[in-house]
A and B are shown apart, each in its own frame.
Chain A
Amino acid sequence: MNKEKVLEVNGLKVSFRTPNGLVRAVRDVSFDLYKGETLAIVGESGSGKSVTNRAIMGILAGNGIIDGGKISYANQDLTKLSEANFHKIRGNKIGMIFQDPLSSLNPTMKIGKQITEAMLVNGDRIKNRMLDIYHHEFHNYLNVVEEIKILKKQIDMFSYEVKVEEDLTKKEKKEKIAEIKRSHKAQIAELKKTLDPLKKNYLNKRKEAKEIVGKEVIVVKAERDKVLKDLRVELNAFKATVKSATDNEKESLKEELQKKIDHLDDQIEQYKRRFRVTKKEAYDRAIGIMTEVGIGEAEKRFNQYSFQFSGGMRQRIVIATAIIADPELLICDEPTTALDVTIQGQILNLIKKIKRERDLSVIFITHDLGVVANIADRVAVMYAGKIVEYGTSEEIFYNPKHPYTWALLASVPDLDTTERLISIPGTPPDMLFPPKGDAFADRNKYVLEIDFHEHPPYFKVSDTHYAATWLLHPDAPKVEMPKIVRDRVAKYQSQDKVKKVKTNG
Chain B
Amino acid sequence: MDRNKEEILRVENLKHYFTSGHGKNRIVVPAVDDISFTINKGEVFSLVGESGCGKTTTGRAIIKLYNATGGNVYFHGQRIIADAKAAKKLYKKGEISKEEKLQAKYDKKFEKIVTPEMKRQAKAIDENSPLVLEAIEKYLEEISETEKHIDAVTKEKSDLVGKIASDKGNKDLKKELSTLNSTLRNLGRRIKLNKMRIRKGKKVQKRLILDKNKDLMRRMQMIFQDPIASLNPRMTVKEIVAEGLRIKGEKDEVEIDRRVKDALNIVGLLPEHAGRYPHEFSGGQRQRIGIARSLVSDPSFIIADEPISALDVSIRAQVINLLNDLRENFGVTIFFIAHDLSVVKYFSDRVAVMYYGKIVEMGDKDKIFDHTLHPYTLSLIDSIPHPDPIYEQKRGDIMRYYPHLVHDYSKEQPTLKEVEPDHFVLCNTEEFKKYKAQVESNIK
Contacts and interface: CB of A to CB of B under 8 A. Distances in A.
B326 to A, nearest CB: 14
Contacts of A45: 312
Contacts of A375: 392
B324 interface: yes
Interface string B362-403: 000000010000000001110111111111111001101100
Interface string B308-338: 0000111111101100100000000000000
A103 interface: no
Interface stretch (B9-17, B237-245, B340-348): B340-348
Given A342-B401, A374-B385, A397-B388, 10 more contacts: A342-B379, A368-B313, A376-B389, A407-B314, A412-B342, A413-B346, A415-B384, A418-B346, A492-B388, A499-B391
Contact of A349 (B324, B379, B384, B398): B398
Given A342-B379, A411-B313, A413-B342, A421 B320 contact: yes
Contacts of A414: 342, 386-387
A340 B55 CA distance: 14
A370 B386 contact: yes
B19 interface: no
Nearest to B381: A415
A424 B314 contact: yes
A346 B345 CA distance: 23
Given A413-B342, A418-B346, A496-B390, A408 B385 contact: no
A423 to B, nearest CB: 4
Contacts of A348: 385
A437 interface: no
Interface string A340-367: 1111111011000000000000000001
Contacts of B339: 340-341
B108 to A, nearest CB: 34
B284 A371 contact: no
A342 B318 CA distance: 26
A214 to B, nearest CB: 54
A412 B390 contact: no
Contacts of A488: 387
Nearest to A374: B392
Nearest to B398: A345
Given A413-B346, A415-B342, A492 B391 contact: yes
A341 B316 contact: no
Contacts of B384: 341, 370, 415
B260 to A, nearest CB: 22
Contacts of B318: 423-425
B402 to A, nearest CB: 12
Contacts of A417: 342, 345-346
> What is the size category of the interface that chain B forms with chain A?
35 or more
Interface in B253-282: 282
A413 B319 CA distance: 13
A381 to B, nearest CB: 11
A342 B380 contact: yes
Contacts of A424: 314-315, 317-318
A468 interface: no
Given A415-B345, A427-B282, A373 B389 contact: yes
A374 B320 CA distance: 25
Contacts of A411: 313-314, 316-317
Q: Which 4 A-B pairs have the closest CB atoms?
A: A370-B385, A423-B317, A413-B346, A411-B317
B342 A342 contact: no
Contact of B387 (A343, A346, A369): A369
A368 B316 CA distance: 12
B51 interface: yes
Nearest to A376: B389
A345 to B, nearest CB: 4
Contacts of B420: none
B314 to A, nearest CB: 4
B385 A344 contact: yes
11 contacts: A44-B312, A340-B51, A341-B341, A344-B385, A367-B313, A370-B384, A373-B391, A421-B320, A423-B315, A492-B386, A496-B391
Contacts of B282: 427
A417 B397 CA distance: 25
Given A373-B388, A412-B313, A417-B346, A341 B324 contact: no
